[in-house]
Amino acid sequence: MAVRLLKRWIVGNPLETKHMVHERLPKWKALAVFSSDALSSVAYATQEILIPLSLFSVAAMSWSIPIALCITALLIAVSTSYWQTIRSYPNGGGAYLVVMDNLGVRPALVTAAALLIDYVLTVSVSVAAGVEAITSAVPVLYEHRLTLGCIAIGIVTMINLRGVRESGTVFALPTYLFIFSFVLLIGVGLFKLLTGSLQPQATLVGTAYPALPVFLILRAFASGCAALTGIEAISNGVPAFRKPESKNAQITLLWMALILSAFFLGITALSHYLLIHPSETETVISLLARQILGDGALYYLVQLSTALILLLAANTSFADFPRVCSLLAKDRFLPRQLSSLGDRLVFSNGIFLLGLVSALLLIVFQGTTHYLIPLYAIGVFLSFTMSQSGMVKHHWKLREPGWKVSLALNALGGVTTAVVLLVIAVTKFSHGAWVVIVLIPLLSLWFRGTREHYRKVAAQLVITDRVDLLKPLKHVVVLPISGIHRGVVDAVQYARSIATDIRVVHVELEEESTARVKHSWDKLNSGLELTILKSPYRSVVQPILEYIRKVDGESGDDLLTVVIPEFVTARWWQTLFHNQTALIIRTALLFQRGKVVTSVRYHLSR
């Protein structure tokens, strides 16, 4: 009862299936749920461009502007491609369904593996970046960043377990607060630059765009491509929108792309003109906000909204990871439990799994964003490339009106993201990207192994011949007892009702105790013989298992039934005062053929 009440307090009361339609999201809430990941990348994408450039030279940071323009062009191309995906696949599922439908099983599993890895990394990176925003404003918390990150993941997990509509309401305020604060930051910064009231605190030495190694430019570009993470989320979650689902999803995608492009270019331009130099202990956004807005309330508003959007950006993954898992589970590539809706009409098992794995990843990488980013973009751009390739084949097959333009757009997106994927793989390989490159095929093989397991189970369970349901089964009953009590009496009565061959056994640990059991058994006058099993090594379970194997070999019956008498305490904690022999016997016999284990329980009163 206590556990049930706690669950109801955390998750909320169960919802009937008929209320599913009421859990759909309007566009303004959907922007908060599905766009928080993409929008939050503004908080660290510019910083990731500047870090490798600043390590080369201060002058090299001037390359941040052309790099940001290239990334924005890529963002527009990818967004346009996903616009096509939403129109062609209005039932959601995004890249996985597109690839499965057009390119086949193996490419689809690779895509699914990339997506799931990306979603886990999204949670870890977003939370780590959010905590960094907090510690930038409150440095005393820096040593507690791991604890803060795990608490944040736990809170987001709990909110999502309560349902889509409630999570949308909770996340709407931080998302729109973030949008407002960044409009304020960029707007005030541009106004002060234009009026001459804001000057850089340092002087840029050298040419505007000094000659740099191509590898360095590509590495900065690959790091900055983190700005594109989360763009695919809307196409995966189309069924969560209110009707007309696909149209509302397309409009929300347009809003997201425009806001993301404006913010990313604005932050990068201001960082360039103000010569913001990335710091290990303070984020670029924090440095920028201090220089533009000062150290007053507006600075803390920007830091608060940045921290909130980063911490809650994980919600995008919590919306999409369980949905992709459910599709894989329905296709038998993942355990079927992941396809089940929970009490609140969400995929609770997938939500809980994502929270657990992302928290572990955060701990492994010590909550540092720069360590996690190299792992981040591989899965994103692999799924982008596979999805756009699938859409190219989709348009080629169907040749609907305007298919040539659509095919060209998706082909452009596919080629571009493939090039970026190659750049990221090469430039980030030694920085941790190799982990994802190895993990994706391993995860794909596990998917196939899971489906093969279900195939073998189905093949063995299918009824191919006529079954005689009236044929009686022959079986012997083994009834182990530790003493004589009311639970044993109930077990004997049950055993008599199902069989005539009943073997009652007792394991002798002490002669005096065994003598008392034999005396009580004789007084019971059951008409059944009590067999005493010797146990020279004082084991209770092993002699019983050996006896069961001996009887099974001698009887030659169809089944052997083990009837276990046990009493159940009135309080769960009272079980700690009693041994768990019955549980051990049941567990030991679980994987043995031809054994039926039945517990006859006697419930104690308070």
Q: For 569-582, what is each residue's pLDDT tens digit?
A: 888 777 777 777 88
Tokens encoding 299: 């600075």
pLDDT at 594 over 90: no
Q: How far apart are CA 203 and CA 495, in angstroms?
A: 92
What 3-state DSSP class applies to 603?
strand
pLDDT band at 345 (very low <50, low <70, confident <90, very high): low
pLDDT band at 276 (very low <50, low <70, confident <90, very high): confident
Report pLDDT digits (tens) over 384-398. Answer: 889 889 989 988 988
pLDDT of residue 40: 82
pLDDT of residue 278: 77
pLDDT at 551 over 70: yes
Question: Of 97-106, 176-185, 343-352, 510-519, where does mean pLDDT reach its minimum?
Answer: 343-352
What 3-state DSSP class applies to 158?
helix
pLDDT at 22 over 50: no
Between 598 and 582, whose confidence is greater?
598
pLDDT at 84 over 90: no
Are 33 and 236 contacting, i.e. CB atoms less than 8 angstroms apart?
Answer: no
pLDDT band at 17 (very low <50, low <70, confident <90, very high): very low
Tokens encoding 186: 């960029």
pLDDT band at 8 (very low <50, low <70, confident <90, very high): low
pLDDT at 259 over 90: yes
pLDDT of residue 164: 55
pLDDT of residue 452: 94
Tokens encoding 482: 């530790």
Cα distances from 581 to residues 276, 490, 494, 509, 584, in angstroms, run 67, 18, 20, 14, 5
pLDDT of residue 132: 79
pLDDT of residue 400: 82
Are 80 and 409 contacting, i.e. CB atoms less than 8 angstroms apart?
Answer: yes
pLDDT at 166 over 70: no
Judge: domain 475-603, CATH 3.10.310.10.
no
What 356-360 contacts at long range (C-beta under 8 Å, 24+ apart), as own/partner pairs, is 357/120, 358/120, 358/121, 358/123, 358/124, 358/127, 358/153, 358/314, 358/317, 359/149, 359/150, 359/153, 359/154
pLDDT band at 93 (very low <50, low <70, confident <90, very high): low
pLDDT at 10 over 60: no
Fold exhibited by the domain 24-454: Amino acid/polyamine transporter I (1.20.1740)
Question: Of 206-215, 262-271, 523-532, where does mean pLDDT reach its minimum?
Answer: 206-215
Residue spans in the chain of domains classed CATH 3.40.50.620: 475-603
Average pLDDT score over residue span 164-192: 83
pLDDT band at 414 (very low <50, low <70, confident <90, very high): confident
Average pLDDT score over residue span 51-69: 82
pLDDT of residue 21: 43
Q: What is this structure's pTM?
A: 0.73
Residue spans in the chain of domains classed CATH 1.20.1740.10: 24-454
- Buried-state track 467-492, b at ≥16 Cβ within 10 A, e below 16: eeeeeeeebbbbbbbbebeebbebbb
pLDDT of residue 167: 60
User: Mean pLDDT over all residues of the chain?
Assistant: 82
User: Residue 256: which of 271, 282, 235 has the closest Cα?
Assistant: 235
pLDDT of residue 480: 92
- Name the percent of the chain lying above pLDDT 70: 89
Between 353 and 90, whose confidence is greater?
353
pLDDT at 443 over 90: yes
